[in-house]
Structure 1
Amino acid sequence: MRPARRRHRRHPRRRHARALAPRGRPRRKQQRVARHARRRAVGRTPPNPRRTCAKAVIVTLAGHVDHGKTSLVHALTGVDTDTLAEEKRRGLTIDLGFAYANLGDAKASRVGFVDVPGHHRFVHNMVAGIASRQFAMLVIAVDDGVMPQSREHLQILSLLGLSRGIVVLNKIDRVPPARVEEVRRDVGALTAGTFLQTAPTLPVSCTTGTGVAEVRNHIALAARADRAAGATEPFRLPIDRAFTVRGSGTVVTGTVLAGSARTDDRLVLADTGTAVRVRGVRVQNQDADAATPGDRAAINLVGVSAEEVTRGDWLLPAESREPATRICIELAVLADFPRALKHNHPVHIYHASSHAQARILLIDEAPMPGGVAARVDVATTSPMHVKIGDRVVLRDHDLATTLGGGRVVAIGEPQGRRRAPGRLRLLASVQPDDAPASACAALERGPLHADTFRRQWNLAPERMAALLGEAIEVVEIDGHWLAKAALDAAEANLREHLTRHHQQQPESSGLSEAALCSGDPAEATTLRLALHHLATTGTVRVEGGDYALASHQADIPNNVKRLFALVERPLDSIQPPSLGDIAKRLKRPFPAFEREMRALPAFGLAIRVSDTRYYLPARLLEMADQAAGLAAQGPFTVRNFRDATGVGRNVVIEVLEHFDRTGFTRRSGDTRTIVGNRNAIL
């Protein structure tokens, strides 16, 4: 007889879980749909090539407090941008608000609105929401007319480089038509000479809806005409918000200033250097394959928590990070600013979403009155992440009002005196909109560090090669650009100097780099690069740190020749013995032997790598070649070098420290990279 089938009892917890599952859809399918919805919130879903996000125009609403900017956004989009409890309670905008809508054709008229605070106490939040590619909407309530923040906001929009926009006369339902025309005339006087001088002025009532359709049509036309710049430069995103999305993680938002970001891109947070990975991208509140210049982007990040990110930080490629506390700007002081700026004038500086306290350091000694423009240095209390051509706004520390703004023309501490004639000529030659012309002007003064120039101008590496075109013939030496004419002149100078020295002191092995390369910073760098170029081409040789013409042979004293004959064989190894071991082998007193050995480097017979070890030049060059081979595969460690050479750890450390001192390698933590010419080790 067949045994009865045993019935399995379902676990009570599982049965209970099934009972709680919503009906009408399989539980697993519902979980999958919910998970997909969470991922879409920040763009974790794999990009769909058939789904592309329209390039949007971003509209910045500016104007005095309580002039109806938030109500206007609500009338245009149906979105209330006042989301903070305090904003609801006080009835005014405190922080940035955002809304998105399709005005007209959905494919061509995607519009993002940035509602900025109107109160003078929140100007720092207002500046954080503005980028030069945006479309401005200056809102003025006709019952109040032109007010102080109407004027200041227009000044800030102009200083930040906005070039398109409209003026909206709001609350027309509250006043008679004559008042509307009176305010229209006042607005004409306000905008005269600004980028809004010829802009349309549109009367609107958010209460009755009058004029809203006309505003919507004007913005839709701007959206269809908008064409953002290309995305070939390195990515830059000033962060204005950071928050956590459940199930996805940290999300940061901002307006993309340059470049593009895609899923799995590796970037860093500029303030801390924290490495992050892009998990997903949304632009204009829609899923997207990439965030490009002009986009309002939300970037989902892996590798950092929202608490570690603050407004004013930046999302950049690691190689673009170059924080600076000293910049030079072309400052234009507003004509109505009541004070003349003096040296060390305290200010607040605003750059994209970042803010710092700073001091103005005048280059010209005379104070700067209102309406004057000049190049000035700005020293900040905290690092800023600027690029040449970026726009900044300055507000007076004591008066709490905007004093002016300008564009960045130089980054970093000046070499030498701030008012040195050479520096003044260089600053005057910088054209923030023309990198090639600025590079040519700099090369006329001296060498140009190519990587620094690329970072400060935010140029892609592939653009550097074609930057100058045929404008000027350039030679690249040790990471620097040098005009060919300047190189030829410097090499002729060095050859003449060495020839004269050899004639006057034939017994000398040569001259040191310091003796050959003197002068102002630019001249000294030119001579140093020319000297290295001569060494690379074999025109000069390096012996014990001294440079000599290749044809020169110093007279070696007989006692030095006899000493070298004794030690040449022990030193002929990639792991030569220490001086103490050689002294014992030769049965020589160590103190006297050590003093005698110091003569060998002067004649290029041996290289002193440490207090107790010497190398033959050929053997040390073998070690340098081993290091170069490792560095070709990436940064290398002491252990990598030891394994490659078969030399003991203590000797390896002595050799690598010699490489560091001579500028052949650079140590960073536990790794090293090649940064100089191998001949420098001699």
Structure 2
Amino acid sequence: IDLALLIVAANEGIMPQTREHLAILDLIGVKRGVVAITKKDLVDEEMLTLVRMEVEELIATTTIANSPIVPVSSITKEGIPELLSAIERQLDKTEPKKDTGRPRLPIDRIFTIAGSGTVVTGTLIDGSLDLGQEVEIAPSGLKSRIRGLQTHKSKEESAFPGSRVAANLVGINTTELERGNVITRPGWLKSTDLVTVNLKLISYLRRPLLHGAEVSFHTLAAETMAKVRLLEKEDINPGENAWAQFSLEKPLAIVKGDRYIIRSTMETLGGGGIIDAHAKRLKRFRPEIITNLQAREGGTAEEAIIALLETKQPLETGAIASQANMTREEATAAVDSLVSDGRLTPLGGGDHRLLMTSSGWQGLVNKAVAAIAEYHKRFPARAGMPAVELTTRLKLGNFVTLAVENLVKQGLIITESNQIHLPSHKVQISPVQQAKMDAFLKALSENPFSPPTDLIPEPDLLGILIEQGRVVKVGEGIIFSTKAYNEMLEKIIAQLKVKGKITLGETRDMFGTSRKYAQSVLEYLDHEKITKRIGDDRMLY
């Protein structure tokens, strides 16, 4: 809203609805206004002066303080030219509309025009819409295309922020839309059912607002019921400010910086601004959380980004821009400055690099090193921790690869064969474990083609023997010495080259072993693509 025109009748003075309307203007942050005192022809100068003084006092503590006050009469036309001039002067002071490149058209009307189909109207904010543009309806996720655009009944190729817009949508029925839906470009605007806000209660209310109270929540053109969570106190008194969260009954498509109003069934209660449109449930009575919210609300771009990442990280620059409600250029410049100063740690490179606060990254490093060190202590005979286990322990999710790459780059860990270990780690084998390994190798040498299955050491020790190249595991519970396996491989390949094929029975007889061992060897050779099975025969792959 660029300008508010507040109307006060000279013969009635300030009414309850006048106070409510003014309070709403204050809560939603309207910065400019003009006050028209109407029906001046019905009162004398003394009464008009008294009403004017009351209005000046009323608006003095609001966002439209010091606005021009113009007495007028629609009967005599006195003051009308002065009112129009006052409106023009105030509109001349309007700042350019913010353009983040993420257009939003909150729908306030939906109807059908014969021959055209579904038309929606609203006030366009945060970006431009173009004829033919592919769009998405949030929060439903429906896709459409703009067939036609009008601004003030004039057909346009493009509509710009701040314009009243009518958009003709392709392939959408009016029954699929509702007031409060938002038309935007696809892929970025997500719905939310929990928001963090600053909340101011209207000063003239007669009772406080309690933690847990149910209210109706209004923002842009949308409305839903909500439950309030006060973060600093059990109740908020009239005229007070507080940090709060609202749990929304119906998901809404909103972003940081949007203004909102809350109402009871009878009256407007208060309102403020959205600080986090996709909030996590915050713990109450935590000073550090309040400090973080203050930085996100009123800090510099850099401070806002740091505060955002402290609550949800890592994020890409694009996600930072949309969640902090900045342009991509603003977010990129602030991120680059923070990376240069060492306050942010990038994971990966390019446009899709992920960003963490340096303290957040150091916390992750400490957890990773501690987890791997603890694993080495528990399993000293293992070469390292499986990468998937580190992912699970640290809850790294989709950014595990980038995090591990950064840990390797910083020389904090080493990765080998899907295992992770600290640079200082060396496999440690106890005398008892060494004795088990020696006994197993001796048994393999005594029965090379029918190896025992009851002396196989535990997985850690077996893994060491496999890594050392001393044994080959061909199947579950079937391990040959490397020497025996190579001999079998050589003889099988030799027969295949001479005869072109070999059977399971021929393999069994060739090595004087059982069917179980011969079958495991041939299946292993198939898996390694040395042989291939055709019917009952094996041939070279």
TM-score (norm 2): 0.72
Superposed counterparts of 1:565-604, under 5 Å: 565-566=473-474, 588=516
Distance 1:558 1:469 in 2: 49
Secondary structure class of the residue paired with 1:470: helix
Contact 1:487 1:526 in 2 (8 A): no
**Secondary structure at the counterpart of residue 303 of structure 1:** coil
1:337-486 maps to which residues of 2 (within 5 A)?
Answer: 337-397=205-265, 400-414=266-280, 417=283, 423-431=289-297, 434-443=300-309, 447-450=313-316, 451-471=318-338, 472-473=341-342, 474-477=344-347, 480-484=354-358
Contact 2:243 2:290 in 1 (8 A): no
Is the contact between residue 494 and residue 531 of structure 1 (CA under 8 Å) also seen in structure 2? no
CA 1:416–1:170 in 2, change beyond 3 Å: closer, same or farther?
A: closer
Distance 1:547 1:296 in 2: 58
1:155 CA displacement: 0.5
The answer to whether 1:265 aligns with 2:133 is yes
Task: Please tell me whether residue 547 in structure 1 is matched to residue 420 in structure 2.
Answer: yes
C-alpha spacing 1:177/1:492, structure 2 compared with 1 (3 Å): closer
Per-residue CA deviations over 1:317-366 (Å, capped at 9, x if unaligned) read 22222111111111011121111121211111110111111111122243
What root-mean-square deviation, in Å, do the aligned CA atoms of Structure 1 and Structure 2 show? 4.0
State the 1:426 CA deviation.
3.0
Confirm or deny: 8 A CA contact 1:415 1:521 kept in the other structure.
no
8 A contact 1:278–1:302 mirrored in 2:
yes
Q: Which residue number in structure 1 is paired with residue 3 of structure 2?
A: 135
Q: Give the direction of change, closer, same or farther, for the CA distance of 1:325–1:500 in structure 2 (3 Å limit).
A: closer
- SS in structure 1 opposite 2:187? helix
Mapped partners of 2:74, 2:387: distance in 1: 74
Q: Distance in 2 between matches of 1:321 and 1:176?
A: 55
Q: Aligned partners of 1:353 and 1:540: how far apart in 2?
A: 52
Contact 1:281 1:298 in 2 (8 A): yes
Deviation track 1:528-555 (CA, whole Å, cap 9, x = no partner) reads: 9644532578864557875324786757
Query: How many angstroms apart in 2 are the aligned matches of 1:553 and 1:321?
Result: 50
Change over 3 Å in CA distance of 1:188–1:587 after alignment to 2: farther
**Distance in 2 (alpha carbons) for counterparts of 1:238 and 1:540:** 50
Aligned twin of 1:507: 381
- Displacement of 1:437 in angstroms is 1.7
Structure 1 position 509, deviation (Å): 3.8
Cα distance in 1 between the residues matched to 2:61 and 2:233? 30
Check conservation: 2:232, 2:284, Cα contact below 8 A.
no
CA distance in 1: counterparts of 2:49 and 2:173, whole angstroms? 53
Q: Which residue of 2 aligns with 1:680?
A: none
Q: Secondary structure at the match of 1:378?
A: strand
Map residues 168-183 of structure 1 onto 2, 5 A cutoff. Answer: 168-183=36-51
Q: 1:477 to 1:262 in 2, by over 3 A?
A: same
Partner Cα separation in structure 2 for residue 306 and residue 493 of structure 1? 53
Q: Distance in 2 between the 1:193 and 1:416 partners?
A: 32
What are the Cα deviations for residues 179-212 of structure 1, in whole angstroms up to 9, with x where unaligned? 3222212212221212333111111122332222
Report if aligned partners of 1:407, 1:432 keep a CA contact under 8 Å in 2: no
**Which AA in structure 1 matches 2:121?**
T
- Stretch moving more, 455-464 or 209-218: 455-464
2:461 paired residue number: 557
CA distance, structure 2, for counterparts of residue 526 and residue 487 of structure 1: 13
Secondary structure of the residue aligned to 1:441 is helix
Map 1:265-304 to 2 at 5 A.
Answer: 265-304=133-172
Q: Report if the CA contact (8 A) 1:517-1:528 is conserved.
A: no
Q: Is the 8 A contact 1:145 1:183 kept in 2?
A: yes
**Contact 1:255 1:294 survives alignment (8 Å):** yes
Q: Is 1:191 aligned to 2:59, yes or no? A: yes
Q: Does 1:151 align with 2:19?
A: yes
Identity score, percent: 26
- Corresponding residue of 2:491: none
Tell me the SS of whatever aligns to 1:320. Answer: coil
**How far 1:423 sits from its partner (Å)?**
4.1
> Which letter maps to 1:269?
I
Partner AA of 2:333 in structure 1 = A
**d(CA) in 1 for partners of 2:129 and 2:94?**
20
**Alignment-derived partner of residue 219 in structure 1:** 87
1:474-533 CA-to-partner distances (Å, cap 9, x unmatched) read 3333753123565357446644663565466331243356875799989x9999964453
Q: Secondary structure at the match of 2:205?
A: coil
Q: Distance in 2 between matches of 1:306 and 1:433?
A: 42
SS at the partner of 2:474? helix
- Aligned equivalent of 2:190: 322
State the distance in 2 between where 1:289 and 1:139 align. Answer: 36
Structure 1 portions without partners, runs of 5+ = 1-130, 570-581, 598-605, 607-613, 620-682
For residue 533 of structure 1, what is the aligned residue in structure 2? 406
User: What does 1:231-246 correspond to in 2, within 5 Å?
Assistant: 231-246=99-114
Q: Aligned AA for 1:547? A: I
- Partner letter of residue 317 of structure 1? R
SS at match of 2:254: coil
User: Unaligned regions of 5+ residues in structure 2, if any?
Assistant: 430-459, 480-484, 486-503, 509-513, 530-541
One-letter amino acid of the counterpart of residue 506, structure 1: P
Q: Which runs of structure 2 are paired with 1:159-170 in the superposition (5 Å)?
A: 159-170=27-38
Distance 1:246 1:155 in 2: 41
Higher alpha-carbon Rg: 2
